[in-house]
């Protein structure tokens, strides 16, 4: 069976790279990781110079044409499943999805179907694409909004590095109980697993550094609820939910960190909880530099219907 490749990434050697090794050019000009470099070296047509196979210790000349080819892969362990997808953007290297609440991003133990991955793999098969499911980041099951999915290893590596370096702009919208003081600011509190309940996170002095910036957009009624914008500087599990709980403003509908998670503690509203039936959190904006075009791209997803419904309730002051 013949090997299929993604579209090659082609680089013309510039004068300043004359005499350098292929490895140096790949690392400095394209940011290719050591792991991907090793895979390319073992691939028959992974690295070519002027159309001929080349090794990473060979030297290049100005004007040479260096091509990088990655073998096509597919997620054989993910069952294709037809599913409505809100596709915000797609090209040969990248897919941006506006995820609905209640959808898990990737199959896990006990959840092998009905995930975003099942629907995306089916979508690609319908288009005749052989692609492995590689999400750049994940959202909680009950969080809605934008998810980026890479369609080849190089794009996944590059966007993951942007994410780790804090160069990906991730902005959220949320509805919380109470009012934050001050109305805008930064929560810089370390987060780690709860020693008593490992599935929960909490602010702990020796936890991992976690930074969330926030800005209040609206305060409703007597200040018992607010709409806020949030920007993540780090990406800890449940970070926004934990930080807002720590600030005394848990997310409306949050069953793990909200009022509903603590029997005997008043403050929640049955009407508002019923309006969303999940944490009122939406990944609204996603911005990054496209690894292939090197152009900055930014996407925005409007509030889904359940959060629009919640906002109308808050504006009408219908709390019980």
**Tens-place pLDDT, residues 216-239:** 999 998 899 999 999 999 889 999
Judge contact between 114 and 100, C-beta under 8 A. Answer: no
pLDDT computed for residue 318 by the predictor: 45
pLDDT in tens, 153-195: 999 999 999 998 889 999 999 999 999 999 999 999 999 999 9
Summary mean pLDDT of the chain: 90
Matching CATH topology for 9-68 and 73-159? no
Q: Which residues have a catalytic role annotated?
A: 140
Q: Which residues, 6 or more positions from 98, have their beta carbon under 8 angstroms from its beta carbon?
A: 86, 87, 88, 144, 145, 146, 147, 301
Judge contact between 237 and 199, C-beta under 8 A. Answer: no
pLDDT computed for residue 221 by the predictor: 87
Q: What is the homologous superfamily of the domain 170-284+308-316 according to CATH?
A: Pseudouridine synthase (3.30.2350.10)
Residue whose C-alpha is closest to residue 99's, from 125, 62, 137, 72 = 137
Residue whose C-alpha is closest to residue 65's, from 133, 12, 141 = 12
Q: How far apart are CA 166 and CA 169, in angstroms?
A: 8
CATH class of the 9-68 domain in this structure: alpha beta
Residue boundaries of the structural domains of the chain? 9-68, 73-159, 170-284+308-316
Fold held by 73-159: Pseudouridine synthase (3.30.2350)
């Amino acid at each position: 069976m013949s090997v299929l490749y993604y579209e090659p990434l082609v680089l013309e050697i510039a004068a300043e790279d004359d005499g350098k090794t292929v490895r140096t050019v790949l690392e400095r000009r394209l940011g290719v990781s050591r792991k991907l470099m090793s895979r390319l070296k073992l691939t028959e047509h992974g690295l070519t110079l002027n159309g001929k196979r080349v090794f990473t210790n060979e030297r290049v000349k100005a004007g040479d044409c260096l091509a990088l080819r990655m073998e096509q892969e597919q997620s054989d362990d993910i069952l294709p499943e037809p599913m409505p997808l809100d596709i915000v953007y797609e090209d040969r290297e990248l897919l941006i999805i506006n995820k609905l609440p209640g959808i898990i991003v990737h199959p896990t133990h006990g959840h092998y179907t009905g995930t975003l991955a099942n629907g995306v793999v089916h979508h690609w098969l319908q288009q005749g694409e052989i692609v492995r499911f590689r999400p750049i980041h994940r959202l909680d099951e009950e969080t809605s909004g934008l998810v980026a999915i890479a369609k080849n290893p190089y794009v996944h590596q590059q966007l993951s590095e942007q994410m780790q370096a804090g160069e990906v702009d991730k902005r959220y919208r949320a509805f919380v109980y109470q009012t934050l003081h001050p109305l805008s600011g930064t929560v810089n509190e370390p987060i780690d697993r709860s020693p008593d309940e490992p599935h929960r996170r909490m602010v702990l002095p020796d936890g991992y550094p976690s930074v969330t910036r926030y800005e209040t957009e609206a305060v409703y009624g007597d200040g018992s609820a607010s709409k806020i914008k949030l920007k993540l500087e780090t990406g800890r599990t449940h970070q926004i939910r934990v930080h807002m709980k720590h600030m005394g403003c848990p997310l409306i509908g949050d069953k793990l960190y909200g009022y509903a998670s603590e029997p005997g503690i008043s403050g929640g509203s049955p009407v508002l909880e019923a309006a969303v039936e999940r944490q009122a959190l939406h990944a609204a904006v996603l911005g990054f530099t496209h690894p292939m075009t090197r152009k900055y791209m930014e996407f925005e997803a409007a509030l889904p219907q359940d959060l629009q419904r919640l906002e109308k309730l808050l504006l009408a002051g219908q709390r019980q």
